[in-house]
């Protein structure tokens, strides 16, 4: 059996007719930048998430960059970010001249350790913002994060790039992740839960001023056109990608439910195969959208090689925490500083989580892992 980590063209085959039609309409109509499909998609996303404004940008990375820029983050400003995340979370801070303040994660949730965040906020008057990441699709504790924001006067930019359609609880209300902070950032990178056929991203906010500011920033800071009060970016979501995403958004609820079902089945299989002492499975928490299904094991690298031999794709998110990346050596972090993240980097393994994965395929994957621990490793 061959099970790739991800098969995007398989998904395309299911919706090919609608997608081809949507792309052809854009091609025929001819407004390839800022066309009507973009406005339509922004309205659809705002509706879907329950937020006032949605602004299409060129990528999730730019969604973070434009958000922080609009909030006034600049040279010397400190921004708290988790060290265990995709690079863009911290890259956006550095691109603006800001200083990423790396914080460790909770080992069970992979999200920011909020006790450490609070300790830093108590000691540090120069922190301007926090970028909580809903990693692998699991919502952060937004109740506590918004309480910290109010208590210490810091902005919250939610990195929801892996968590579109996830539910978080804040002030006794259930809201979509990304709609609770001052801004929320989404990515439509092809492998994300809602993926385009190229790069794409979105900033959402309920704040009139921030929305206006981000619209101006994505068009070189111009308002009106050709008159520039500030220096901005060329960062728009293409009309063709918006048209593709308009089609795919209709399927997102269904795909999300299927991902959660796949994750539940993995957990059941792992439970019944008696490897509880060898494998740490993710907890199925309400609101989780399982962008990735990530287990922790010893001998991770040997297991990945073995699975590859058996035709199963896996990935490591992430092999090196951000505080130990070469480009951040100047910040003075050392190995051992953020131990939970460092340990996770050696132990995490993401398994295939395609919504269309069958029961038989899941059994094969878990069975292969069982073989590795019971036969291969014992030799």
Ligand X SMILES: *Cc1c(COP(=O)(O)O)cnc(C)c1O
Neighbours of 222 (CB within 10 A): 15
Taking the complex as a whole, the smallest distance from the CB of residue 60 to ligand X amounts, in Å, to 3
- Decide whether 90 or 263 has the Cβ nearer to ligand X: 90
Residue 184 C-beta: closest distance to ligand X, Å? 12
Q: Give least dist CB 122 to ligand X, A.
A: 27
CA 178/CA 133 separation, integer angstroms: 10
CB of 165 or CB of 187, closer to ligand X? 187
What is the nearest approach in angstroms of ligand X to the Cβ of residue 160?
8
User: In the bound complex, what is the minimum distance in angstroms from residue 161's beta carbon to ligand X?
Assistant: 4
Structure tokens at 254: 């269904």
Among all residues, whose Cβ is closest to ligand X?
60
Q: How far is the CB of 379 from ligand X (least distance, A)?
A: 38
CB-wise, 278 or 291, nearer to ligand X? 291
Minimum CB separation from ligand X for residue 61, in Å? 3
Closest CA to 145 of 203, 51, 155, 135: 155
Q: Considering the complex, state which of residue 66 and residue 148 has its C-beta at the smaller distance from ligand X.
A: 66
In the complex, least distance from residue 306 CB atom to ligand X, rounded to whole angstroms: 27
For ligand X, the closer CB: 59 or 205 = 59
Nearer to ligand X, 56 or 232 (CB): 56
Q: Which residues are at the interface with ligand X (CB under 6 A)?
A: 59-61, 85-86, 88-89, 133, 159, 161-162, 187, 189, 199, 201
C-beta of 61 vs 183, nearer to ligand X: 61
**Dmax over Cα atoms in the chain, in whole Å?**
71
Shortest gap between Cβ of 314 and ligand X (angstroms)? 17
Taking the C-alpha atoms of residue 116 and residue 204, their distance in angstroms, rounded to an integer, is: 27
Three-state SS string over the chain comes to CCECCCCHHHHHHHHHHHHHHHHHHHHHHCCCCCCHHHHHHHHHHHHHHCCCEEEEECCHHHHHHHHHHHCCCCCCCEEEEECCCCCHHHHHHHHCCCEEEEECECCCCCCECHHHHHHHHHHCCCEEEECCECHHHCCCCHHHHHHHHHHHCCEEEEECCCCCCCEEEECCEEEECCCCCCEEEEECCCCCCCCCCCCCEEEEECCHHHHHHHHHHCECCECCCCCECCCCCECCCCHHHHHHHHHHHCCHHHHHHHHHHHHHHHHHHHHHCCCCCCCECCCCCCCCCCCCEEEECCCHHHHHHHHHHCCECCECCCCCCHHHCHHHHHHCCCCCCCHHHHHHHHHEEEECCCCCCCHHHHHHHHHHHHHHHHHHCCC
């Amino acid at each position: 059996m061959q099970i790739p980590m991800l098969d995007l063209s398989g998904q395309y085959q299911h919706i090919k007719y609608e997608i081809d039609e949507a792309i052809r309409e854009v091609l025929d109509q001819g407004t390839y930048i800022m066309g009507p499909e973009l406005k339509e998609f922004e309205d659809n996303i705002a509706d879907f998430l329950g937020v006032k404004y949605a602004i299409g940008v060129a990528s999730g990375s730019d969604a973070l960059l434009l958000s922080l820029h609009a909030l006034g983050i600049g040279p010397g400003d400190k921004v708290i970010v988790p060290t265990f995340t995709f690079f863009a979370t911290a890259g956006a801070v550095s691109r603006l001249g800001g200083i990423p303040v790396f914080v460790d994660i909770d080992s069970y949730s992979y999200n920011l350790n909020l006790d450490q965040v609070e300790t830093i906020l108590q000691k540090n008057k120069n922190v301007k913002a926090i970028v909580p990441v809903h990693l692998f699709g699991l919502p952060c504790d937004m109740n506590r994060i918004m309480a910290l924001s109010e208590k210490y006067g810091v902005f919250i930019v939610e990195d929801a790039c892996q968590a579109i359609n996830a539910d978080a609880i804040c002030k006794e209300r259930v809201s979509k992740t990304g709609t609770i902070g001052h801004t929320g950032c989404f990515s439509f990178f092809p492998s994300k839960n809602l993926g385009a056929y190229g790069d794409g991203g979105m900033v959402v906010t309920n704040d009139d001023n921030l929305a206006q500011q981000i619209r101006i920033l994505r068009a070189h800071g111009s308002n009106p056109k050709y008159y520039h009060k500030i220096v901005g970016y060329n960062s728009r979501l293409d009309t063709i990608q918006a048209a593709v995403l308009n089609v795919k958004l209709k399927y997102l609820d269904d795909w999300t439910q299927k991902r959660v079902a796949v994750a539940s089945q993995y957990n059941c299989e792992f439970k019944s195969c008696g490897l509880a002492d060898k494998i740490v499975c993710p907890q199925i928490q309400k609101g989780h959208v399982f962008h990735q299904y990530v287990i922790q094991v010893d001998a991770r690298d040997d297991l990945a090689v073995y699975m590859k031999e058996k035709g199963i794709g896996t990935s490591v998110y992430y092999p090196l925490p951000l505080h130990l990346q070469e480009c951040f050596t100047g910040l003075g972090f050392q190995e051992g500083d953020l131990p939970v993240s460092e340990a996770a980097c050696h132990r995490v393994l993401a398994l295939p989580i395609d919504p269309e994965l069958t029961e038989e395929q899941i059994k094969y994957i878990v069975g292969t892992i069982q073989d590795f621990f019971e036969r291969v490793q014992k030799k």
